Amino acid sequence: MPLQNLHTHSTFCDGKDTPHDIVKRAAELGMTAIGFSSHSFTEFDLSYCMKDEQKYISECRSLKDEYTGVTDVFCGLELDYYSPIPAYDYDYVIGSVHYINVGGDYIPVDESPKILQAAAERYFGGDMQKLCELYYETAASVFKKTQCDIIGHFDLITKFCEQNPKLIDTESIRYKHAVFSALDELIKSDSVFEVNTGAMARGLRTLPYPSSECLKRIKENGGRIILTSDCHAKEKLLFGFEEAKEALKEFGFKEQMYFDGKAFTFTAL
Ligand SMILES: [Zn+2]
Ligand SMILES: [Zn+2]
């Protein structure tokens, strides 16, 4: 049975474990493949991103050789919307929007509810919906901007919503319009939506990104999905996969995508 996770962070960016320890764990879990996706370089925020791309790539390659016949090892990149175009050839790219850009100021949308609230006050006259509209306008063009194979955590801006229900009115017509416009634009692209359990692993959400409503719409409109854990610690490599699979089946999904090093093909959920 094919089993992989393509969204994995290591000590080359903000992950806890070395690539070697992660691949070892993946092999122990019987995973058929593990893909690394270090954070691309963002010059305006050095706190979490990768600084040594060459070393990262050569480490991935040597692990690929070491684990041949056991677990496939891929070298991917989580490319932030505001990072430069990658200078190296990666096996695949996850395109992610982690910031909104307001007049040259980069505001992280996944740091804390406080930062989001302060940004809504400072830049949008307290109108959180306007901030969300800017986020989804940016997300809508993530494929055009990054040419990504996978769309990372599509509605990341909802990271804190379960625990802070008043932070964003996700039931408003304006919010839904913003979300669905972006979603419909991306469904038309060749990219695959990741179903990301990262915030579940952090105890912030009980459901993966994107929301159930988004997943139903992706299904209805023929979008493709891939399950990932946005792993930052090897114990969480497959976190929430079984729960997420059950939820996806309820929405009518029977298959997800599997990456074999060259292409994405359908595999049973
Ligand atoms: Zn991310
Ligand atoms: Zn990530």
- Residue 15's φ and ψ, nearest 5 degrees, are -85, 165
Considering every ligand atom shown, identify the ligand nearest to the alpha carbon of residue 76 and give its number.
Answer: 2
The distance in angstroms from the start CA to the end CA of the chain is 10
Average pLDDT score over residue span 25-48: 96
- Predicted local distance difference test score (pLDDT) of residue 15: 97
Distance 96 CA to ligand 1 centre (A): 6
Distance 260 CA to ligand 2 centre (A): 20
Across-strand partners of 142? Answer: none
Considering every ligand atom shown, identify the ligand nearest to the alpha carbon of residue 156 and give its number.
Answer: 1
Distance 78 CA to ligand 2 centre (A): 6
Considering every ligand atom shown, identify the ligand nearest to the alpha carbon of residue 230 and give its number.
Answer: 2
CATH code of the domain containing 199: 3.20.20.140
pLDDT digits (tens, 9 = 90+) for 137-172: 999 999 999 999 999 999 999 999 999 999 999 999
Distance 126 CA to ligand 1 centre (A): 26
- List the domain range (segments joined by +) for residue 117: 4-268
Q: Which residues contact 136 (CB under 8 A, 6 or more apart)?
A: 157, 178, 179, 181, 182
Q: What is the mean pLDDT of the chain?
A: 97
Taking phi first (over 0 means left), then psi (-120 to 50 degrees means alpha), and beta for anything else, what does residue 15 get? beta
Average pLDDT score over residue span 82-108: 96
Residue 251 has pLDDT above 90, yes or no: yes
Distance 166 CA to ligand 1 centre (A): 23
With tokens 């090093």, the residue in question is 261
Residue 69 has pLDDT above 90, yes or no: yes
pLDDT digits (tens, 9 = 90+) for 107-141: 999 999 999 999 999 999 999 999 999 999 999 99
pLDDT confidence bin for 255, thresholds 50/70/90: very high
- Predicted local distance difference test score (pLDDT) of residue 213: 96
Average pLDDT score over residue span 248-267: 97
Average pLDDT score over residue span 58-75: 98
Please state the pTM of the whole predicted model: 0.97
Distance 130 CA to ligand 2 centre (A): 25
Distance 7 CA to ligand 2 centre (A): 6
Considering every ligand atom shown, identify the ligand nearest to the alpha carbon of residue 13 and give its number.
Answer: 2
Distance 98 CA to ligand 1 centre (A): 6
Taking phi first (over 0 means left), then psi (-120 to 50 degrees means alpha), and beta for anything else, what does residue 260 get? alpha
pLDDT digits (tens, 9 = 90+) for 165-224: 999 999 999 999 999 999 999 999 989 999 999 999 999 999 999 999 999 999 999 999
Distance 175 CA to ligand 2 centre (A): 24
- Predicted local distance difference test score (pLDDT) of residue 190: 86
In total, how many domains does the chain have?
Answer: 1
What is the spatial distance between Cα 229 and Cα 240, in angstroms, rounded to a whole number?
A: 8
Average pLDDT score over residue span 30-44: 97
Distance 125 CA to ligand 2 centre (A): 31
Which among 162, 234, 221, 161 is positioned nearest to 186, based on CA atoms?
221
Considering every ligand atom shown, identify the ligand nearest to the alpha carbon of residue 111 and give its number.
Answer: 1
